[in-house]
Chains A and B, each alone.
Chain A
Amino acid sequence: MARNVTEVAAPESQGGAVQQTRGRTEAGMRAPVDIYEDGEGITLEADMPGVSRERLDVRVDGDTLLLEGNVQFELPKDAEAMYADVRSTVYRRSFVLSRELETSNIQATLKDGVLTVRIPKRAELRPRRVEVRTA
Chain B
Amino acid sequence: MFGRLTSLQDSLLDEFWRLHQEMDEMLGDGLSSAGGIRSAPRGTFPAVNVIQTPAEVQVYLFAPGVDPKKLDVSVQRGLLTVSGERKIPVHDEATYYRQERFSGEFRRAISLGDDVDPDKVEAKYRDGILQIQVRRRESAKPRQIEIH
Docked-complex contact A37 and B31, CB < 8 angstroms: no
Q: Which residue of A lies closest to B40 (CB)?
A: A85
Docked-complex contact B49 and A83, CB < 8 angstroms: yes
Q: How large is the interface on A (under 10, 10 to 19, 20 to 34, 35 or more residues)?
A: 35 or more
Contact flags (1/0) for A50-74 with B, using CB distance below 8 Å?
1110000000000000000000111
Assess whether A119 is interfacial by the CB under 8 Å rule. Answer: no
Q: B47 to chain A: which residues have CB within 8 Å?
A: 49, 85-86
Assess whether B105 is interfacial by the CB under 8 Å rule. Answer: no
Docked-complex contact B31 and A36, CB < 8 angstroms: no
Q: B32 to chain A: which residues have CB within 8 Å?
A: 82-84
Pick from B28, B44, B96, B127: contact of A49, CB under 8 Å: B127
How far is B22's CA from A27's CA once the two chains are assembled, in angstroms? 11
Assess whether B148 is interfacial by the CB under 8 Å rule. Answer: no
A83 and B48 in contact, given A36-B95, A111-B65, A112-B66 (Cβ under 8 angstroms): yes
Pick from A1, A47, A80, A83: contact of B110, CB under 8 Å: A83
Q: Which of A2, A34, A73 has the largest count of B CB atoms less than 10 A from its CB?
A: A34
Assess whether A117 is interfacial by the CB under 8 Å rule. Answer: no
**Separation in Å of the B92 CB from the closest CB of chain A?**
10
> B residues within 8 Å of A by Cβ?
22-23, 26-28, 31-32, 42, 44, 46-54, 56-58, 60, 62-66, 88, 91, 93-102, 110, 125, 127-129, 131
Which 5 A-B residue pairings sit nearest by Cβ, starting from the closest? A113-B128, A113-B64, A49-B128, A2-B97, A85-B47
